[in-house]
Structure 1
């Protein structure tokens, strides 16, 4: 794996270790966060920069200062062909992009792609590759989905960096579409839903962003239409009811999610579904001329 300067890699590892100790963060997760950040930088410097939009948990690094759940993967929306071999070849080129030395080395022979389908709902391609940082072996995971409706249009942002390296300039999902996709999964899956991360993610975004209700409503309508899920009418969807929160299996899954991610200062599930009702149900109203804006401090919609 050519191309890295050992002294740079050792320096990066030491600085990341110092940061992990100072902030009480898992060092291995921080290594993966650095890996993913620098892969995004290579993508932003490659001819394929416009072929993907960043989505998933990494987008929260741009919207919230702290408190988001850790992630090991890069999630992307892809445009064009979704053939695993073609995507593997594409990322082989991306990882070989010439950039300022950051200590990372990638093994081009290890890059591989395979089809994925989470419960047959969201087909896509998973790309994996091996990397090293001054002797530390890292495994890169990139999930690429296709065909989702993104409303409003993605914007280009400077992605936050851990250390003093150039920032990736990447296209990023709008928070409205993040909320819409997670809300659609809640409605569609109902009591079978095990995606506790979606409840937390929507709560975190609603606690941080002053959404414009017409924009969010448009994103919700577009996502539900694209995925063939009817919009809830009349009564709240099951996932936003006390019946759901009181289900012993859901309570166990919620506690397991909190324990696994190490998150604290998060509402209990019964309180969470109540506040998410307050945020999400008004978005379903078909109010012409709606100009409401979300107040994240007061947790209410204001005209």
Structure 2
């Protein structure tokens, strides 16, 4: 990217093309650039992508956008100190794009959650433009059978990055549990949409052995 005006124009055109919210589209772009740094860091085999960001990779970010990045730490203990160190080091990785990332705050998130986690508030800075970002890191999530390597398309570059993620079977199990536990009257529309997306994935992506 040559400059911030060019980036804003590309994001604006992308958002208009697909009928997306422009600020959210910019956040998705910056989260993708953060993922580039994660896979280039020593934590590449530790953080497992899940949630809306993963659904965006499955459905296409133009069809399923998100404002944050949900992950599970596969090896590292999850507490405020360890996660702060992790993301301070990740933010120090040069992504070759002129964007800098900075940790703004860390807090433990246990309220109404089954698994312990930490929320990382970051800011992406590019030529004076500041984009707030949020990353959740949890621990103790059951992943069946194991994390899988998945290709994540980069929105504007026409490139991809490969990162560890939940297997589709675990995504489906969690979505079904969410819908059944909340009931059809209280479930979010995106939960049903995510189930539709998963059902549309070719059979080769799902193993009946683990369902």
Question: TM exceeds 0.5?
Answer: yes
Moved more, 159-168 or 85-94: 159-168
Would the aligned equivalents of 2:109 and 2:118 in 1 still touch at CA under 8 Å?
Answer: yes
More helix by share: 1
Which of 178, 194, 214 is the matching residue for 2:208? Answer: 214
More strand by share: 2
Aligned residue in 1 for 2:37: 42
Cα distance in 2, alignment partners of residues 151 and 16 from structure 1: 36
Q: Which has the higher contact order (CA 8 A, sep 6+)?
A: 2
Cα distance in 2, alignment partners of residues 81 and 148 from structure 1: 13
Cα distance in 1, alignment partners of residues 166 and 4 from structure 2: 31
Would the aligned equivalents of 1:41 and 1:167 in 2 still touch at CA under 8 Å?
Answer: no
Secondary structure of the structure 1 residue equivalent to 2:155: coil
Cα distance in 1, alignment partners of residues 157 and 184 from structure 2: 45
Moved more, 87-96 or 151-160: 151-160
Looking at CA atoms only, which structure, 1 or 2, has the larger radius of gyration?
1
User: What count of residue pairs does the alignment treat as equivalent?
Assistant: 209
Cα distance in 2, alignment partners of residues 66 and 97 from structure 1: 24
Unaligned runs of 5+ in 2: none
1:97 and 2:90 equivalent? no
1:202 and 2:198 equivalent? no
Unaligned runs of 5+ in 1: 220-303
Aligned residue in 1 for 2:153: 160
Query: What RMSD in Å do the two structures reach over aligned CA positions?
Result: 2.4
Cα distance in 1, alignment partners of residues 158 and 60 from structure 2: 19
Cα distance in 2, alignment partners of residues 103 and 13 from structure 1: 14
Secondary structure of the structure 2 residue equivalent to 1:130: strand
State the Cα distance separating 1:126 from its structure 2 match: 0.5
Superposition TM-score, scaled by structure 2 size = 0.86
Superposition TM-score, scaled by structure 1 size = 0.62
Which of 102, 123, 131 is the matching residue for 2:124? Answer: 131
